[in-house]
């Protein structure tokens, strides 16, 4: 479905163009759309265009075998370049995955919530990163060993994991996750 730069590699921060998005989604549904090279389609796809393409092409269920857990960390409140949101991007994606897989949804929350003000949250997140601080979690998944598939969603903060890495490092959770990342919570 994806070929990368010819060697199977992709740049992690490369923007996806409108044409690339159409070709990837076309291949996903079993078509082989042609590359047109149209300069009007060689522009970065917006988040809205990506969301619509994913929704339209993933509107069925996702086949999985066994019991599924979708655990996620997401931050509502004021967000970079979008204003204030009631629900973070990662929460929206996690809910979609849980709906499509029939999985159980679990929100990973710190005992002390992050500030809703973006600048204040940046200060806290920056301090945590510089101090390698992992806040305490409000609760843990009970009987995580009962799950066959675990999706883990989290935003990327300062080019790295947010506080969630404490959850990742807990013994019963180590090595059990597929990562679903979001550029902003």
| Residue 98 shares a structural domain with residue 169 | yes
H helical segments located in the chain: 18-28, 47-57, 89-101, 118-131, 165-169
**Same domain, residue pair 168 and 97:** yes
Average pLDDT over residues 120-138: 86
The β-bridge partners of 77 are: 85
- Show the domain range for 170: 68-182
3-class DSSP state of 40: helix
Q: With a cut of 80, say whether residue 175 has pLDDT above it.
A: no
Q: Do 100 and 45 share a structural domain?
A: no
Contacts of 67 (CB under 8 A, 6+ apart): 103, 104, 146, 147, 148, 149
Residue where a domain stops, chosen among 13, 37, 59: 59
pLDDT grade, residue 172 (50/70/90)? very low
Same domain, 11 and 82: no
Q: How many domains does the chain have?
A: 2
168 or 108: which leads in pLDDT: 108
Q: For the segment 75-118, what is each residue's pLDDT rounded down to a tens digit?
A: 899 987 778 989 888 898 889 888 888 899 999 998 899 999 99
> 36 and 98, same structural domain?
no
In a shared domain, residues 52 and 97? no
> Based on the domain organization, do 17 and 84 belong to the same domain?
no
Indicate whether 12 and 102 sit together in one domain: no
Share of the chain above pLDDT 90, in %: 10
What is the C-alpha to C-alpha distance for residues 100 and 60, in angstroms, rounded to an integer?
7
Share of the chain above pLDDT 70, in %: 74
Give the pLDDT of residue 2: 52
Within this chain, do residues 30 and 117 fall inside the same structural domain, yes or no?
no
15 with 80, same domain: the answer is no
> Both 114 and 42 in a single domain?
no
User: Mind listing the pLDDT tens digit for each residue in 43-83?
Assistant: 888 777 777 777 777 666 666 678 889 999 998 999 877 78
């Amino acid at each position: 479905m994806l070929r990368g730069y010819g060697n199977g590699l992709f740049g992690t921060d490369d923007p996806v163009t409108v044409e690339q998005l159409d070709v990837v989604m076309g291949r996903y549904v079993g078509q082989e759309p042609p590359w047109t090279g149209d300069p009007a389609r060689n522009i970065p796809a917006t988040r809205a265009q990506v969301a619509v393409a994913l929704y339209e092409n993933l509107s069925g269920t996702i086949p999985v075998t066994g019991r599924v857990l979708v655990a996620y960390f997401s931050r509502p409140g004021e967000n970079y370049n979008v204003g204030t949101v009631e629900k973070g991007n990662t929460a929206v994606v996690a809910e979609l995955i849980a709906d499509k897989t029939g999985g159980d949804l679990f929100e990973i929350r710190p005992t002390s919530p992050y500030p809703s003000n973006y600048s204040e949250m940046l200060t806290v997140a920056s301090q945590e990163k510089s101090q390698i601080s992992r806040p305490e979690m409000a609760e843990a998944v009970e009987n995580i060993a009962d799950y066959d598939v675990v999706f883990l969603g989290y935003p990327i903060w300062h080019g790295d994991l947010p506080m969630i890495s404490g959850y990742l490092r807990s013994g019963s959770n180590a090595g059990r996750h597929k990562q679903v990342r979001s550029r902003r919570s």
